Amino acid sequence: MKIDREKLHSPFVEQVERVSGEVFANCYQCGNCTGGCPVSFAMDYGPSQIIRLLQLGQEQLVATANSMWLCVGCLQCYSRCPKGVSAASILEALRQMTLRKGEDHEDVGGLPFPFLKDAPQQAIISGFRKFVS
């Protein structure tokens, strides 16, 4: 992993801080957020790891990780953070930034009819809001 000054202060990193309202330097990597996250087991990088990668300016690893799409917004991470850092806000910012680039996470047109017919409507609508720009 290459770390340099430009990456540490890249426009991407600064934008994530601005959109999320969080300061990455406040995180001292205790791991409490990841320890309490109900879906971290399925994430490429848990919440604390995502923050560490952002501290190190690793845009590519952060942007391609599935973590932002798996976060369910339960705020367990925020409630457990001794530094008041909201990993949930950071993951939400990453998701919004990706969708605003027009990069949908799901192909709505490709969803099979049996799935659309059987899935609860509320789940489908909330899924569209989360995964589609």
Kindly list the residues in this chain that would bind ligand SF4 in the complex (CB under 6 A): 27-33, 36-39, 47-48, 51, 71-77, 80-81, 83, 85, 87-88, 91
For the bound state, the minimum distance from the C-beta of residue 119 to ligand SF4, rounded and expressed in Å, comes to: 21
- CB nearer to ligand SF4: give 36 or 111: 36
Closest CB to ligand SF4 among 2 and 129?
129
State the DSSP string of 69-107.
Answer: HH-----HHHHH-TT---HHHHHHHHHHHHHHTT--SS-
**How many whole angstroms separate alpha carbon 43 and alpha carbon 54?**
16
Query: Residue type for 33, please?
Result: C
Please state the closest distance from residue 17 (CB atom) to ligand SF4, in A.
13
Q: Which is nearer to ligand SF4, 21 or 73 (CB)?
A: 73
Nearest-approach distance from CB 93 to ligand SF4, in angstroms: 12
Query: Minimum distance between the CB of residue 81 and ligand SF4, rounded to whole angstroms?
Result: 3
- CA–CA dist 33, 56 (Å, integer): 18
Return the half-sphere exposure (C-beta side, CA atoms, 13 A cut-off) of residue 90.
30
